[in-house]
Amino acid sequence: MPANFQEAPAGFLEKPTNIHTKRIFVAGTRMNEGKTTTCLGLFAALQSLYPRVGFIKPVGQRFVEVAGHQIDEDSVLLDTIFHVQVPIESMSPVAVDGKFTRRFLADPAGTLPGLVDRICRAFDRVSWEKDFTLIEGTGHAGVGSVFDLSNARVAHLLDAKVILVSSGGIGRPVDEIAMNKALFDREGVEVVGAIINKVDPDKLAFITEYTGCGLARLGVPLLGVLPTRKTLTSPNLSQIVEEIGGRWLNGRATGANERIENVVIGAMTAKGVVDVLQPGVLLVTPGDRDDILFAAMSTAGLSSRKVVSGIVLTGQALPHPSVLELLSKTPIPVVAVDSEAYDVASKINSMTIKTQPHDADKIPIIKRLVMEHVDMGKLLASF
């Protein structure tokens, strides 16, 4: 039996039996602060320093079914990229479905011990023979309090130290880190640092200096400031199609993973549309604008490069069948949707962009961001 693993006793576990593996818990100060992105980069950084690194997301709220188990999407993402080599169900022991909270509240005393036991045994399994285990939380420190498994409580349960992730600025991140730290403090959990995410590259030095000063007054080291990267905040075309409820007319096979960096509403003339056709652009225009499709097809025929990353045709009208037939002979991705152009553009601009397993262009950027901008020496010194 490895030195850092003990045989789990019979009955419910109230704490993991593994006491040797180093572990860090990553929590956000609110939703969509870049916690999963940070975990991906931290995992890569830890792998460069330790030969054996484990991962677990104890409580997950967005899950998919894998081999009959409900597995959190982030656990699937990380396992797909890094091949963690532990049972996937151990990386996601508790999945919160739509009726989970009601089931818990109907019998808290009878339900909680089983949930704690499941998390503890899963942690022991993912940490078996590991030098370091990365634990991803769910949202801010208080998420999960309704069923007695807040992030702060789970971090305490797993004897983990905490990194807080917040998005760019000075006042708001410091205020929210202070609020989250208070809940971790109440559970006796040490916050060993903070990472500020999604910062304008031009403000990197400014944010580092002043946010660092603000956090120092709280006793929280600033571990790093991550600049924004357009690719990380840009959806691909298949994500957009799902968001707007669109249907493919052309180019699905080659266009699904096109990265959309700019959305343009095509209210211009066919002559004017040529000026906006370029890679990274999604053109949103009424479905009866055959002239715009002809302009795009003509440009594609004259060019040896990709002319546009996608066209969304809005409203009830569709192009003439002869136009669709011509379109099928081009690589231009075209999607139709019944909504109007403004509504479509608004939905796209308000999308929350999550990294997915097939986002091959994002993963190297994420790894490089953390390696270049997070002080791993400062983090590991806390252990």
Q: Note the pLDDT tens digit of each residue in 323-358.
A: 889 988 888 899 999 999 889 999 999 988 888 888
Give the up-direction half-sphere exposure of residue 261: CA atoms within 13 A in the CB hemisphere. 10
CATH of domain 22-229+358-381: 3.40.50.300
Tell me the mean pLDDT in the region 47-52.
93
**What tens digit of pLDDT does each residue of 63-110 get?**
888 888 889 999 999 999 999 988 899 999 999 988 999 999 999 999
Gap between the Cα atoms of 31 and 262, Å rounded: 24
* 363-373 vs 35-47: helix crossing angle, rounded to 10: 70
Question: Could you tell me which residues come within 8 angstroms of residue 367 by beta carbon, excluding any fewer than 6 positions away?
Answer: 40, 41, 44, 45
Confidence of residue 302 (pLDDT cuts 50, 70, 90): low
pLDDT value of position 228 = 92
pLDDT value of residue 354: 85
pLDDT number for residue 3: 44
Report how far residue 289's alpha carbon sits from residue 355's, in angstroms, rounded to the nearest whole number. Answer: 34
User: Using CA of residue 131, residue 25, residue 184, residue 8, what is the dihedral sign?
Assistant: negative
Nearest one of 47, 27, 308 to 150, comparing CA atoms: 27
Q: What is the average pLDDT across 244-252?
A: 93
DSSP 3-state of 295:
helix
Is residue 223 within 8 A of residue 42, CB to CB? The reply is: no
What three-state secondary structure class fits 194? strand
Quick check: 303 pLDDT over 50? Answer: yes
CA distance 352 to 242: 13
Does 359 have pLDDT greater than 90? no
pLDDT at 175 over 90: yes
pLDDT score at 223: 98
pLDDT band (50, 70, 90) for residue 8: low
pLDDT at 317: 85
Given a cut of 60, is residue 6 above it in pLDDT?
Answer: no
- Domains of the chain, residue spans: 22-229+358-381, 235-349
For the stretch 250-278, pLDDT in tens is 999 888 999 999 998 877 777 777 888 88
| Residue 297, amino acid | M
Q: Which residues fall within 8 angstroms of residue 242, CB to CB, at 6 or more apart?
A: none
Give CA separation, 72 vs 62, 67, 165, 223, 242, in Å: 6, 13, 20, 27, 20
Residue type at 255 in one-letter notation: G
Q: Residue 99 class from Cβ within 10 Å (0-12 exposed, 13-18 middle, 19+ buried)?
A: exposed
- What is the average pLDDT across 187-200? 96
> 235-349, which class in CATH?
alpha beta
* Confidence bin at 1 (pLDDT 50/70/90): very low
> What band does 5 get if pLDDT is binned at 50, 70 and 90?
very low
Higher per-residue confidence, 66 vs 312: 312
Tell me: the pLDDT tens digits for 100-151?
999 999 999 999 999 999 999 999 999 999 999 999 999 899 999 999 999 9
Number of helices (H), then strands (E), belonging to the chain: the values are: 15, 15
Instruction: Calculate what percentage of the chain has a pLDDT beyond 70.
Output: 96
Query: Is residue 9 very low, low, confident or very high in pLDDT (cuts 50, 70, 90)?
Result: low
